[in-house]
Amino acid sequence: MDNEERMRISSRQLEMFYVQLGTMIESGVPIQQALRSQEKTVAPRLRSTVARWREWTEQGHPLHEAMGLTPGRIAEFDRQTLQICEQSGTLDKGLLSLGQYHQKRGEAIRRIVGITILPVILLVAAVFVPRIPKLVLAFMGQGEDTMGAFFMDTAGWLASLVFGVAGMFWLAQILLRHPATGPAMDWLLNAIPLFGGFRKAHALSVWAQQVRMMLAAGHGVVPAMENASRFSPSPLIAAAFPRIKPFINSQLEVSEVLAGSGVFPPMFCQLWSAGERSGRLDEMLDRLSRHFEDEWRRKLAQLAVALPFFIYLLVSGFIIMQIFKMMGSYVRACEQAIDFGM
């Protein structure tokens, strides 16, 4: 497999691919013909990937299995969703739903990037600008600083910050993927203000949507919950189901078992209970999914507003540090002047 087929497809490209493919299938175009048409319209870097998917479907394999031929390009969540939709005969609706999901995801990413551009520029300016006079003096042969010292104090500081943050994210991802540390790391991340609320609401929205789709595909409640938990983005949910599964077939209602897990909030369990008793669980799951989707979008908007303030705090801290360093230089200069006069 070449390097191109190992690269993850962007949210924007996935949105366009899913919407166009779903629209064609909804209008009655066979999946093989729809994929052949997509080979001509997708971005050039995706055409070889779509061609492999089309060849595999022409051999009688479902689309989600064809996507498994290119691991890393499609998230497991997408493949699981398409598998459920293909089993229930609603592939067109699943593709359009994934298109909407990636549209919202892409909008959220672009919003965060757009809001944080100015604070990041200010941070870079705060790091470089105070050191420029000393660099100019060094070029004129009147200062003690060197080019190496300049880059160590500026680019070196920024590089340390970037690698430190990237290292924390990398470590968090490793711990989240490990069965032994995943639930504890998930709990820790959920405790972070705004960010934790966003993660938890997103996981609940995805879980409810997956269960609803599996019920529509003909799965029982327990297998639907088990499969949705297995592919949940939350290790807490994934680890909770094996603990509560033995109690589901007892005299307890599913909503009571969910409430006892400590993972699902009271409102989630109450609406599940209402859906169970009314015989309209699928509709209630759709309501739950949309409610928590609105919740994670709201938390994400709040996070996008709070993130620039955090970067401004870094800028302020660095400026204060520079002021103290300048004051230290000033005090030392005064001491040298006094010693020279005496």
**Lowest mean pLDDT segment, chosen from 25-34, 35-44, 91-100, 155-164:** 155-164
Q: Report CA 102 to chain centroid distance, whole Å.
A: 11
| pLDDT of amino acid 1 | 45
Q: What is the mean predicted confidence (pLDDT) over 278-300?
A: 88
Joined together, the tokens standing for residue 62 give 């479902």
Residue 267 has pLDDT above 70, yes or no: yes
Q: What is the mean predicted confidence (pLDDT) over 178-190?
A: 90
Q: Which residues contact 309 (CB under 8 A, 6 or more apart)?
A: none
| pLDDT of amino acid 2 | 47
pLDDT band at residue 188, thresholds of 50, 70 and 90?
very high
Of the candidates 283, 321, 289, 151, the one whose C-alpha atom is nearest the C-alpha of residue 207 is 289
Q: What is the mean predicted confidence (pLDDT) over 138-157?
A: 67
pLDDT in tens, 241-265: 888 888 887 667 888 889 888 899 9
pLDDT in tens, 94-110: 888 888 878 877 877 78
Q: What is the mean predicted confidence (pLDDT) over 189-212?
A: 88
Q: What is the mean predicted confidence (pLDDT) over 41-69?
A: 87
| pLDDT of amino acid 109 | 77
Residue 9 has pLDDT above 70, yes or no: yes
Q: What is the mean predicted confidence (pLDDT) over 123-129?
A: 75
H-type alpha helices, the chain:
11-26, 31-41, 47-58, 63-67, 76-88, 91-128, 132-139, 147-153, 155-177, 182-190, 195-216, 221-230, 235-248, 254-261, 266-278, 281-341
| pLDDT of amino acid 7 | 61
For the chain, list the domains and their CATH numbers. 3-99 (1.20.81.30), 178-342 (1.20.81.30)
Of the candidates 116, 163, 67, 44, the one whose C-alpha atom is nearest the C-alpha of residue 307 is 116
Q: What is the mean predicted confidence (pLDDT) over 71-90?
A: 80
Q: What is the mean predicted confidence (pLDDT) over 129-153?
A: 67
Residue 197 has pLDDT above 70, yes or no: yes
Greater confidence, 39 or 219?
39
| pLDDT of amino acid 200 | 92
Q: Report CA 126 to chain centroid distance, whole Å.
A: 30
Q: What is the mean predicted confidence (pLDDT) over 265-289?
A: 89
Q: How many CB atoms lie within 10 A of CB 88?
A: 17
Cα(60)–Cα(82) distance, integer angstroms: 16
pTM exceeds cut of 0.95: no
Judged on CB neighbours under 10 Å (0-12, 13-18, 19+), 1 is: exposed
pLDDT-above-70 percentage for the chain: 86
| pLDDT of amino acid 341 | 55
Residue 329 has pLDDT above 80, yes or no: no
Average pLDDT, the chain: 81
pLDDT band at residue 204, thresholds of 50, 70 and 90?
very high
